[in-house]
Amino acid sequence: MRRSDLGEFEEIVLLAVAALAPGAYSVSIAEELENETGQTISTGAVHAALQRLEQKGYLSSYLGEATQERGGRRKRLFTVTAYGGKILHDARSVRNSLWNRITPAELSKMGLDFSNS
Amino acid sequence: MQPLPPRWLDKLATRICAPHLREELLGDLQERYALRYQKFGQQKAKLFYLKEVAALLRPSVIKRKSPEYPSIPFLSFEMIRNYFKIGSRVLLKNKGYSFIHLTGLSIGLWACMMVATVVIDSLSYDRKWSHANDVYRIISMNKAGAGLQERISSSPQLLAPELVKIYPEAVASSELSTTTRHFKFKKEDFNGVATQVLRADTSAWRIIDLKVLAGNPRDFVPGTNNLLISKSFADRFFPGQDPIGKIIQDIPKYGTKANDYQITGLIADLPYNSHLRADVVLLHINKPEPYEANGFITFSQNYIRMKPGTDMQAFTAKVNKWHQKFSKRTDEHGFEFQPMPDIYLHSDFAESQNVRGDARTIYIFSGIALLLLFIACVNFVNLSTAKAFARLKEAGVRRILSGSRSQLIIQLLTETLLLFGTAAIVATFLYFFSLKSVEQFLGHRLIETFTSNVPMAVDALAVVLLTALLTGLYPAWLISGFKPSNTLRGIFTSSASFRQNWLRKGLVVVQFSVSIVVLLATIVVWKQLNLMENKDLGYNTNNLLAIDNVSWDGKGDAFKGELLQIPGVVRASATLWVPTQGGGYMQREIEDPANSKQRIKVWYIAGDVDLPETMGLKLVKGRMFSHQFSTDALNADSLQKVSFEKFEQAQILQSSLLTASAAKALGVSKLDERIKNANTVPVGIIENFNNESLYEPIKPTIILAQRSPQYAGMLVRTQPGMEQRVSASIEKLWKQFYPAKLLEINNIEELLDKQYEAETRLHQLFMFFSGLTMFLSVLGIFGLVVQAAEQRSKEVGIRKVLGASVTGIVTMLSGDFVKLVVIAIVIASPLAWFGLDKWLQNYPYRTDIRWWMYVATGSTVLIITMLTVSFQAIRAALVDPVKSLRNE
């Protein structure tokens, strides 16, 4: 259970790459996250996270084709590596198992008891 | 249209972003900008963009990728050796350029060193005394006349001791002055050895440093002259002997018998770089007497030593206030305190001080030396930038083979350094060998030189290194700045070459402007000198000899009688005043007859009855003095002996001659009538004449006659060309009359010329410097033409093949430079006019700046430039086009 090297923002970015594949690059990810969270997310932040994830081996990248709205510059497209997928999966299972251990009484206390509705 | 983010932000982002991330990141930014533009409009998109750029400031974005192959640290020993090796090879390969550079820089550096030596030496005067910073010379001021302020370097003799008594902050005082005495070591010696003597009183020990080597000079021996001789004087005249206690004699001017001087001490040599320069010290004792502010006061050069840290401004005010109260006089008179280190350079008012420099000349020449070095450096920059194109290929190859830009800059700077270093060595040699002649030219020794003073040499080296760095930086920056990919393909960004072309032209204009200003200055100084030397002074200055003031011992008339028998002597006159000699017999302030509140200054000149005619003064009205009238000449000496009042009474009715300006100032219309204000009866009016140097305007003067004055000089008018023979005869006659008395004969014309020594020297130096600046400027332009011709050799070849004439090509190659010189002339002329006009304001009789001087300088410079330029241009134009085009 080594989760310490995957920050929360990194996890979200990693998830977004998985969700947006094969068209995952910083602009699409940032726009997607902005839509999902309702917060402004800077390209630089996303780019930094992507760089880190790639260094850790969770992502791999290649340069895509140039488009006109980028002023003729190419974009870097990302895909999740198998290792990255495993880490994501690990993270998810940790969360799931913890969710599952919450008793229904506790859930209702939190106002999150959905079973009766 | 694709919406684009603001450009400046884009540029900023490019700067921030590491090169290897630029493409993707900047693409992202632009894409998001476009998206936001559609969503929120331009305003908001811009704001977002700004935030995005700000957010780029994070390590992951900023951090540059490390190069794949680490380069050798460019300041390692190996690399430094490499820089020097390659640098020297480059310099040896381009011998022509190196030579031009070297000549220019050597001359520039040499001139700078030379002038710096003179400046540093001048500034070193009187700074080494242990109390230098606390010693002051007391200067008397006199605010006489309308706005005139007179300053003299002496003050009442007893004032300084009085100040020491009154004010606790004044520690000590002494009387110090320098004179020349003629000492003799053998009885029959007639001329003696002219020796610089420092006259000092016994408290001198507390003011200046006198290091005693032998004897007890502090114990004053009464009844004789106490003489302290310096080590070098002792070595010269008493080699291997103990001089203490010996007695030597002088050849006096006034007494009949030689005076005895007992040597009471041997002291270390006095510093040469002091205004108190002397070979020996003559000690005397001051009698303690109370100070009186009125009546007859003896004036002398007084020095006062203050407690360290005294506020001199407050002290000066205090002293002047006290003195006004004490002397019950108005504020016309006052005292100033001149700091010891200032005395040498800032004493233009002290005519009797024979060791003095001129601050103004020092400023002018430091300026010119700096300009010379500047011109040399400009040459360097110009030639190097012109040469830049030739070196671009090398630069490109170096850069592509992963040499960094800084490495290239260091390589180029090393070359500069090598050149400057060699130039410095050459300049030092020149300097060393020219020191002697410069000293001869200046007329005094130079104490602080670069070859004798190690700290000074180190400083000079530092300055040379710094100059090299500053000069080399621009060309290095320029050459290394071109993109390697472009230089190798032979593409130069036009803006860069335009810029450096522009700079080069600008520098050439500056250079030539400087040369033209200096050249104009040379002409104007020469004209001024000419004017002063040739101006009609109002009397006949030719064939006039002057015997210096002596005491005649009652034999004056007899001597004059014998003198008139000498063949070649036309006239002679005993005189109390010799032409060029300051104010003359005396000065008086007389009430202005037109305005009783104002006072006018009148100068008096006295001699015997023959004085006006011996001098060749021209009569306007009335008559000259004559032996027929007994009232014409006063027997001043015998009257003064009886009583002063009798002398004054006799003076009231004495006849006098007035100069035209004196007559005008005193409002004299009728002759032979007593003027009350001036106490005299004018018998004639003569034309104005200059009784001093031409630094002073004509002064209202009254001439009085005396019968055989006791202390006087003698003016002798000879037949033209007989001066030499007559002075030889006078010497013979003198030996008969005064076997032990000193005789000094001067030629008036020489004395007059000597007054303008400063101008003569200024002129010679200007000639020298204008030659140098011109030479350096021309050298620079020569290099540029060589470069231009080389660069355009193919163009010239093609033009020739297509039928261009040699003249056409020469005009093409030289036209640019001639234009620049013309611009320089236009710029320099008003500047020179402004400066020179200011300089001329110093002279009451000044030459004017004429149009022909501009024409002369302008055409000289133009002709020299054209000759230089066309010499090279013709060579370029005559080259066989086959040669220049073959290697294509």
DSSP for B576-632?
S--TT-TT-SEEEEEE-SS-TT-EEEEEEEEE-TTHHHHHT--EEEE----TT-TTT
Report the range out of A69-78, B368-377, B425-434, B739-748 with the highest average pLDDT: B425-434
Q: Contact B60/A45, CB-based, under 8 Å?
A: no
Q: Contact A69/B56, CB-based, under 8 Å?
A: no
Q: What is the pLDDT of residues B832-849, one digit of tens each?
A: 888 888 888 888 888 888
As given in the structure block, the two tokens for residue B673 are 């009538």
Q: Contact A43/B32, CB-based, under 8 Å?
A: yes
The pLDDT of B792-814, averaged and rounded, is 81
d(CA B318, CA B286): 26
* CB B783, CB B379: distance < 8 Å: yes
As given in the structure block, the two tokens for residue A83 are 């290792």
In order, the DSSP letters of chain A are: ---TTS-HHHHHHHHHHHHHTTS--HHHHHHHHHHHH-S---HHHHHHHHHHHHHHTSEEEEEEEE-GGGTT-EEEEEEE-HHHHHHHHHHHHHHHHHHHHS-HHHHHHTT---S--
Identify which has the larger pLDDT, B332 or B55. Answer: B55
pLDDT at residue number B424:
92
Rg (CA), chain A: 17
> Residue B616, class by beta-carbon neighbours within 10 Å (0-12 exposed, 13-18 middle, 19+ buried)?
middle
The pLDDT of B656-683, averaged and rounded, is 80
As given in the structure block, the two tokens for residue B356 are 């003095």
Q: Contact B60/A68, CB-based, under 8 Å?
A: no
Whether the predicted pLDDT of B164 surpasses 50 = yes
Integer CA distances (angstroms), B819 to A66, B378, B418, in order: 54, 19, 34
Question: What is the residue whose two structure tokens read 């309702």?
Answer: A38
**Region of residue A111 (phi > 0: left; psi between -120 and 50: alpha; otherwise: beta):** left
Question: Residues A22-27: contacts with CB within 8 Å, 24+ apart?
Answer: A22/A77, A22/A79, A23/A77, A24/A77, A24/A78, A24/A79, A25/A64, A25/A75, A25/A76, A25/A77, A25/A78, A25/B28, A26/A50, A26/A75, A26/A76, A26/B24, A26/B25, A26/B28, A27/A75, A27/B28, A27/B31, A27/B32, A27/B35
d(CA B703, CA B692): 14
Select from B130, B150, B126 the least CA-distant residue to B140. B150
Integer CA distances (angstroms), A19 to A45, A76, B25, B486, in order: 19, 16, 22, 46
* CB B304, CB B163: distance < 8 Å: yes
Distance of CA B600 to the CA centre of its chain: 35
d(CA B790, CA B266): 71
pLDDT band at B144 (very low <50, low <70, confident <90, very high): low
How far apart, in Å, do the first and last CA atoms of chain A sit?
A: 35
Integer CA distances (angstroms), A96 to A80, A89, A92, B356, B492, in order: 21, 10, 6, 102, 66
Question: What is the residue whose two structure tokens read 């320029």?
Answer: B478
pLDDT at residue number B491:
58
* CB A3, CB A94: distance < 8 Å: yes
The pLDDT of B643-666, averaged and rounded, is 78
pLDDT at residue number B305:
93
Report the range out of A13-27, B325-339, B551-565 with the highest average pLDDT: A13-27
Whether the predicted pLDDT of B817 surpasses 90 = no
Identify which has the larger pLDDT, B498 or B882. Answer: B882
Select from A83, A81, A79 the least CA-distant residue to A25. A79
d(CA B650, CA B705): 12
* CB B283, CB B298: distance < 8 Å: no
Identify which has the larger pLDDT, B663 or B306. Answer: B306
Torsion, Cα B496 B500 B505 B508, to 10 degrees, reads: 180
* CB B180, CB B194: distance < 8 Å: yes
| DSSP for residue B264 | E
Select from B727, B705, B742 the least CA-distant residue to B614. B705
Cis preceding-peptide flag for B217 (omega within 30 of 0): no
Distance from B24 to chain A by nearest Cα, in Å? 5
As given in the structure block, the two tokens for residue B350 are 């002290």
B-side interface with A, Cβ within 8 Å? 2, 4, 21, 23-32, 34-35, 48, 51-52, 55-56, 58, 60-61
d(CA B43, CA B430): 71
Q: What is the pLDDT of residues B226-264, one digit of tens each?
A: 899 999 999 988 888 888 888 888 888 777 778 888 899
pLDDT at residue number B543:
86
pLDDT band at A4 (very low <50, low <70, confident <90, very high): low
Q: Contact B35/A63, CB-based, under 8 Å?
A: no
Q: What is the pLDDT of residues B88-129, one digit of tens each?
A: 888 888 888 888 888 888 988 898 888 889 888 888 899 889
* CB B518, CB B369: distance < 8 Å: no
Strand-pairing partners, residue B210, are none
> Chain A residue with minimal CA distance to B24?
A75
CB pairs below 8 Å between A and B: how many? 70
Which chain A positions have a beta carbon within 8 Å of B28's beta carbon?
Answer: 25-27, 43, 47, 70, 75
- Other Cβ atoms within 10 Å of B36 Cβ, number: 22
d(CA B133, CA B131): 6
Whether the predicted pLDDT of B432 surpasses 80 = yes
pLDDT band at B136 (very low <50, low <70, confident <90, very high): very high
Strand-pairing partners, residue B437, are none
Report the range out of B226-235, B551-560, B864-873 with the highest average pLDDT: B226-235
For residue B680, the SS3 value is strand
Which chain A positions have a beta carbon within 8 Å of B18's beta carbon?
Answer: none
d(CA B464, CA B485): 36
What are the b/e assignments for B793-818, b being 16+ CB within 10 Å? Answer: beebbebbeeeeeeeebbebbbeebb
* CB B266, CB B214: distance < 8 Å: yes
Cβ of A23 under 8 Å from any chain B Cβ?
A: no
Q: Contact A40/B30, CB-based, under 8 Å?
A: no
pLDDT band at A1 (very low <50, low <70, confident <90, very high): very low
Q: Contact B28/A67, CB-based, under 8 Å?
A: no
Q: What is the pLDDT of residues B289-333, one digit of tens each?
A: 788 777 677 888 899 999 998 899 999 998 888 888 887 766 567
pTM for this model (two decimals): 0.73
Q: Contact A44/B58, CB-based, under 8 Å?
A: yes
d(CA B336, CA B320): 9
d(CA B412, CA B797): 32
* CB B814, CB B541: distance < 8 Å: no
| Single-letter residue type at B580 | T
pLDDT band at B492 (very low <50, low <70, confident <90, very high): low
Best probe of the A interface among B9, B29, B57, by most A CBs < 10 A, is B29
pLDDT at residue number A117:
45
* CB B555, CB B714: distance < 8 Å: no
Integer CA distances (angstroms), B394 to B325, B412, B418, in order: 83, 11, 19
As given in the structure block, the two tokens for residue B770 are 């204008």
Cβ of A50 under 8 Å from any chain B Cβ?
A: no
Q: Contact B31/A27, CB-based, under 8 Å?
A: yes
Q: How many CA atoms lie within 13 A of A4 on its CB side?
A: 1
| DSSP for residue B239 | T
The H or E element spanning position B401 is none
Q: Contact B24/A73, CB-based, under 8 Å?
A: yes
Q: Which region among A39-43, B64-68, B555-559, B582-586 has the lowest average model confidence (pLDDT)? A: B582-586
State the average pLDDT for chain B.
Answer: 83
Residues 6+ positions from B829 with CB-CB distance below 8 Å:
B516, B520, B854, B858
In order, the DSSP letters of B178-219 are: EEEEEEESSTT-SS-EEEEEEEEEGGGGGTS---EEEE-TTS
pLDDT band at B785 (very low <50, low <70, confident <90, very high): confident
Crossing angle of the two packed helices B405-442 and B359-400, in degrees rounded to 10: 160
Q: Which region among A18-27, A85-94, B403-412 has the lowest average model confidence (pLDDT)? A: B403-412
User: Measured between CB atoms, which of A30, A31, A74 is closest to B24?
Assistant: A74
* CB B324, CB B316: distance < 8 Å: no
Going by DSSP bridges, is the β-strand pair B193-201/B212-215 parallel, antiparallel, or unpaired?
A: unpaired
C-alpha angle B769/B774/B780, rounded to 5°? 130
